Amino acid sequence: MSMMSEFKEFALKGNVMDLAVGVIIGAAFGKIVDSMVNDLIMPLVGAVIGNVDFSSMYVILGQVPEGVGAGLAELKKAGVPVFAYGNFLTIAVNFVILAFIIFMMVKQMNRLKREAPPPPPAPAVTPEDILLLRQIRDSLKK
């Protein structure tokens, strides 16, 4: 079998196509969850704990050059080392939500894919010689 035909067989298998579709949908779904965390959940959490903006939660670890603003994006662009724990919290919440949703999806798929229990085994057919031996045994008992 040539390498091209092997590759074609591999690429056209159902599992590879399912994986490709899963990766594409997962990337789009990740963007939705990212937007949900950044635009909906974290602002609500910030409001509940006192109007805190998580993107502004960081500690500057180095010297800030003159003319560089105090914003996180400006500091990173200038190459200033920054301990951005607010950004980490946002990404951690994003991961937890995404992991929970994937867990629920896998759990639902496993529930839907459960196979019916196997049928009970068919009764064994007794060979004819055993039947004859049983008849002889029973006739000797009489």
pLDDT tens for 20-43 read: 778 888 888 888 888 888 888 888
What's 22's domain CATH number? 1.10.1200.120
For residue 1, what pLDDT is reported?
Answer: 65
User: Taking 90 as the threshold, does the pLDDT of residue 93 lie above it?
Assistant: no
Tally of structural domains, the chain = 1
Q: Is 106 within the bounds of a domain?
A: yes
What pLDDT is recorded for position 16?
Answer: 72
Is 114 inside a domain boundary? yes
53-87 tens-digit pLDDT: 777 788 888 888 888 887 888 888 888 898 888 88
- Return all residues near 42 (Cβ < 8 A) that are at least 6 apart: 54, 90, 93
Residue 81: Cβ within 10 Å count: 11
Residue 67 lies in a domain: no
Residue 25, domain extent? 3-52+84-120
Residue 128 falls inside a structural domain = no
